[in-house]
Amino acid sequence: MKLLLAEDTRDLNRAESAILKHEGYDVTSAYDGQEALDYLSKDSFDAVILDIMMPKVDGLGVLKSMREDNILTPVLLLTAKTEVDDRVAGLDAEADDYLAKPFDMRELLARVRALVRRGREYNPQDMSFGDVSLKAEDMELSCENSVRLSIREFELMQMLMTHSEGGISTDDILQKIWASEPDANEDTVWLYISYLKRKLSAIASGITIEGEKGGSFRLINSQAA
Protein backbone atom coordinates (compact mmCIF):
# COMPACT_ATOMS: atom_id res chain seq x y z
CA MET A 1 0.00 0.00 0.00
CA LYS A 2 1.52 3.29 -1.11
CA LEU A 3 0.86 6.39 0.97
CA LEU A 4 1.81 10.02 0.43
CA LEU A 5 2.36 11.85 3.73
CA ALA A 6 2.56 15.65 3.49
CA GLU A 7 3.46 17.19 6.84
CA ASP A 8 5.78 20.20 7.20
CA THR A 9 6.80 19.57 10.85
CA ARG A 10 9.78 17.31 10.28
CA ASP A 11 9.77 15.54 13.65
CA LEU A 12 6.08 14.75 13.32
CA ASN A 13 6.54 13.67 9.70
CA ARG A 14 9.30 11.28 10.72
CA ALA A 15 7.25 9.89 13.63
CA GLU A 16 4.13 9.36 11.53
CA SER A 17 6.16 7.86 8.69
CA ALA A 18 7.91 5.43 11.06
CA ILE A 19 4.61 4.23 12.53
CA LEU A 20 3.06 3.77 9.09
CA LYS A 21 6.10 1.94 7.74
CA HIS A 22 6.07 -0.33 10.79
CA GLU A 23 2.52 -1.28 9.79
CA GLY A 24 3.77 -2.25 6.35
CA TYR A 25 2.90 0.84 4.30
CA ASP A 26 5.21 2.21 1.63
CA VAL A 27 5.40 5.88 2.66
CA THR A 28 6.58 8.83 0.58
CA SER A 29 7.11 11.97 2.68
CA ALA A 30 6.63 15.55 1.52
CA TYR A 31 7.38 18.62 3.64
CA ASP A 32 5.35 21.25 1.82
CA GLY A 33 2.35 21.38 -0.49
CA GLN A 34 4.30 21.95 -3.67
CA GLU A 35 6.47 18.90 -3.00
CA ALA A 36 3.28 16.88 -2.47
CA LEU A 37 1.89 18.08 -5.81
CA ASP A 38 5.16 17.14 -7.51
CA TYR A 39 4.93 13.59 -6.15
CA LEU A 40 1.28 13.34 -7.19
CA SER A 41 2.14 14.38 -10.74
CA LYS A 42 4.67 11.55 -11.04
CA ASP A 43 3.18 8.65 -9.09
CA SER A 44 -0.09 7.16 -7.84
CA PHE A 45 -0.96 6.36 -4.24
CA ASP A 46 -3.55 4.31 -2.36
CA ALA A 47 -4.19 7.18 0.08
CA VAL A 48 -2.90 10.68 0.78
CA ILE A 49 -2.42 12.28 4.21
CA LEU A 50 -2.31 16.10 4.08
CA ASP A 51 -1.55 18.57 6.84
CA ILE A 52 -3.70 21.65 6.24
CA MET A 53 -1.11 24.17 7.45
CA MET A 54 1.86 23.80 5.08
CA PRO A 55 4.15 26.27 3.32
CA LYS A 56 4.07 27.05 -0.43
CA VAL A 57 0.70 25.34 -0.96
CA ASP A 58 -1.52 24.46 1.98
CA GLY A 59 -3.32 21.15 2.34
CA LEU A 60 -6.60 22.48 1.01
CA GLY A 61 -4.79 23.84 -2.04
CA VAL A 62 -3.21 20.45 -2.70
CA LEU A 63 -6.57 18.74 -2.32
CA LYS A 64 -8.32 21.15 -4.68
CA SER A 65 -5.58 20.66 -7.29
CA MET A 66 -5.95 16.89 -6.97
CA ARG A 67 -9.69 16.98 -7.55
CA GLU A 68 -9.37 19.46 -10.42
CA ASP A 69 -6.95 17.01 -12.04
CA ASN A 70 -9.45 14.19 -11.42
CA ILE A 71 -7.14 12.48 -8.90
CA LEU A 72 -9.73 10.69 -6.76
CA THR A 73 -7.32 9.07 -4.30
CA PRO A 74 -8.81 9.05 -0.76
CA VAL A 75 -7.51 11.94 1.35
CA LEU A 76 -7.14 12.32 5.12
CA LEU A 77 -6.66 15.92 6.31
CA LEU A 78 -4.61 16.66 9.43
CA THR A 79 -5.22 19.93 11.19
CA ALA A 80 -4.36 21.62 14.47
CA LYS A 81 -7.62 23.51 14.17
CA THR A 82 -10.82 22.08 15.61
CA GLU A 83 -13.31 24.75 14.53
CA VAL A 84 -16.27 23.53 12.52
CA ASP A 85 -15.48 25.98 9.70
CA ASP A 86 -12.10 24.35 9.09
CA ARG A 87 -13.57 20.87 9.03
CA VAL A 88 -16.33 21.99 6.67
CA ALA A 89 -13.78 23.68 4.37
CA GLY A 90 -11.89 20.42 4.10
CA LEU A 91 -14.99 18.35 3.40
CA ASP A 92 -16.19 20.95 0.89
CA ALA A 93 -12.86 20.52 -0.88
CA GLU A 94 -13.72 16.80 -1.19
CA ALA A 95 -11.58 15.35 1.59
CA ASP A 96 -12.66 11.87 2.66
CA ASP A 97 -11.83 12.28 6.35
CA TYR A 98 -10.08 14.59 8.80
CA LEU A 99 -8.13 14.15 12.02
CA ALA A 100 -7.53 16.99 14.49
CA LYS A 101 -4.18 17.37 16.23
CA PRO A 102 -3.06 16.26 18.71
CA PHE A 103 -4.09 12.70 17.98
CA ASP A 104 -3.12 9.23 19.11
CA MET A 105 -1.05 7.34 16.52
CA ARG A 106 -3.44 4.40 16.91
CA GLU A 107 -6.25 6.61 15.64
CA LEU A 108 -4.13 7.71 12.69
CA LEU A 109 -3.54 4.06 11.79
CA ALA A 110 -7.24 3.25 12.11
CA ARG A 111 -8.21 6.18 9.85
CA VAL A 112 -5.62 5.19 7.25
CA ARG A 113 -6.76 1.55 7.27
CA ALA A 114 -10.35 2.66 6.73
CA LEU A 115 -9.31 5.05 3.96
CA VAL A 116 -7.32 2.42 2.08
CA ARG A 117 -10.07 -0.15 2.52
CA ARG A 118 -12.67 2.25 1.18
CA GLY A 119 -10.50 3.02 -1.82
CA ARG A 120 -10.14 -0.70 -2.62
CA GLU A 121 -13.79 -1.57 -2.07
CA TYR A 122 -15.14 1.45 -3.90
CA ASN A 123 -16.92 0.33 -7.07
CA PRO A 124 -19.01 3.19 -8.47
CA GLN A 125 -21.70 2.73 -11.11
CA ASP A 126 -23.49 5.18 -13.37
CA MET A 127 -27.05 5.88 -12.23
CA SER A 128 -29.86 8.33 -12.89
CA PHE A 129 -32.98 9.66 -11.23
CA GLY A 130 -35.36 12.23 -12.64
CA ASP A 131 -33.34 14.90 -14.43
CA VAL A 132 -30.07 13.94 -12.74
CA SER A 133 -27.28 11.64 -13.95
CA LEU A 134 -24.58 10.26 -11.68
CA LYS A 135 -21.41 9.57 -13.68
CA ALA A 136 -18.91 7.22 -12.05
CA GLU A 137 -15.90 7.85 -14.28
CA ASP A 138 -15.83 11.59 -13.59
CA MET A 139 -17.50 11.44 -10.15
CA GLU A 140 -20.02 14.00 -11.44
CA LEU A 141 -23.63 14.83 -10.76
CA SER A 142 -25.14 16.31 -13.91
CA CYS A 143 -28.30 18.12 -15.00
CA GLU A 144 -28.22 21.50 -16.75
CA ASN A 145 -24.79 21.90 -15.15
CA SER A 146 -22.32 19.45 -13.66
CA VAL A 147 -20.62 19.31 -10.28
CA ARG A 148 -17.97 16.95 -8.96
CA LEU A 149 -18.66 14.82 -5.89
CA SER A 150 -16.36 13.38 -3.24
CA ILE A 151 -16.34 9.61 -2.83
CA ARG A 152 -18.68 9.76 0.15
CA GLU A 153 -21.04 12.17 -1.57
CA PHE A 154 -21.08 9.81 -4.55
CA GLU A 155 -21.80 6.78 -2.35
CA LEU A 156 -24.57 8.63 -0.53
CA MET A 157 -26.17 9.73 -3.80
CA GLN A 158 -25.97 6.16 -5.06
CA MET A 159 -27.77 4.95 -1.94
CA LEU A 160 -30.47 7.58 -2.30
CA MET A 161 -31.02 6.64 -5.95
CA THR A 162 -31.05 2.93 -5.15
CA HIS A 163 -33.66 3.47 -2.42
CA SER A 164 -35.64 6.16 -4.21
CA GLU A 165 -38.96 4.41 -3.61
CA GLY A 166 -38.92 3.83 0.13
CA GLY A 167 -36.02 5.98 1.26
CA ILE A 168 -33.16 5.01 3.54
CA SER A 169 -32.58 5.58 7.25
CA THR A 170 -29.70 7.43 8.89
CA ASP A 171 -28.69 4.19 10.64
CA ASP A 172 -28.51 2.30 7.35
CA ILE A 173 -26.42 5.08 5.79
CA LEU A 174 -24.00 5.02 8.73
CA GLN A 175 -23.72 1.24 8.55
CA LYS A 176 -23.02 1.26 4.82
CA ILE A 177 -20.78 4.30 4.36
CA TRP A 178 -19.25 4.99 7.79
CA ALA A 179 -19.18 1.48 9.32
CA SER A 180 -15.45 1.69 10.04
CA GLU A 181 -15.66 5.05 11.82
CA PRO A 182 -17.20 4.81 15.30
CA ASP A 183 -17.23 8.59 15.77
CA ALA A 184 -19.51 9.11 12.75
CA ASN A 185 -23.07 9.93 13.77
CA GLU A 186 -26.30 11.52 12.57
CA ASP A 187 -24.53 14.89 12.34
CA THR A 188 -22.10 13.37 9.83
CA VAL A 189 -24.94 12.08 7.66
CA TRP A 190 -26.83 15.38 7.92
CA LEU A 191 -23.72 17.30 6.86
CA TYR A 192 -23.37 15.21 3.70
CA ILE A 193 -27.09 15.42 2.98
CA SER A 194 -26.66 19.21 3.16
CA TYR A 195 -23.74 19.02 0.72
CA LEU A 196 -25.86 17.06 -1.77
CA LYS A 197 -28.80 19.44 -1.41
CA ARG A 198 -26.52 22.35 -2.19
CA LYS A 199 -25.00 20.59 -5.20
CA LEU A 200 -28.42 19.61 -6.58
CA SER A 201 -29.38 23.27 -6.40
CA ALA A 202 -26.12 24.29 -8.08
CA ILE A 203 -26.84 22.13 -11.14
CA ALA A 204 -30.43 23.46 -11.39
CA SER A 205 -32.00 20.06 -10.77
CA GLY A 206 -35.66 19.53 -9.95
CA ILE A 207 -34.64 16.81 -7.50
CA THR A 208 -34.83 17.48 -3.77
CA ILE A 209 -33.93 15.36 -0.73
CA GLU A 210 -36.75 14.86 1.74
CA GLY A 211 -36.06 14.00 5.38
CA GLU A 212 -35.09 15.31 8.79
CA LYS A 213 -31.85 15.02 10.73
CA GLY A 214 -31.57 11.58 12.33
CA GLY A 215 -34.45 10.16 10.28
CA SER A 216 -34.88 8.68 6.83
CA PHE A 217 -34.12 10.37 3.52
CA ARG A 218 -35.67 10.04 0.08
CA LEU A 219 -35.21 11.66 -3.32
CA ILE A 220 -38.21 13.62 -4.57
CA ASN A 221 -38.67 14.52 -8.22
CA SER A 222 -40.56 17.82 -8.09
CA GLN A 223 -40.97 17.77 -11.88
CA ALA A 224 -42.75 14.40 -11.96
CA ALA A 225 -46.34 14.49 -13.12
What is the per-residue pLDDT across 189-204, written as a single tens digit (0 to 9) for each? 999 999 999 999 999 9
Confirm or reject CATH 1.10.10.10 for domain 127-221, answering yes or no.
yes
How far is residue 45 from each of residues 3, 126, 130, 185, measured CA to CA in Å? 6, 24, 36, 29
Phi, psi of 106 (to 5 degrees): -65, -35
Residues 145-176 pLDDT 10s: 999 888 788 889 999 998 988 899 999 999 88
pTM of the model: 0.60
Domain boundaries defined on the chain: 2-121, 127-221
Greater model confidence, 89 or 164: 164
CA neighbor of 2 nearest in space, from 23, 22, 28: 28
Q: Assign domain 2-121 to its CATH superfamily.
A: Response regulator (3.40.50.2300)
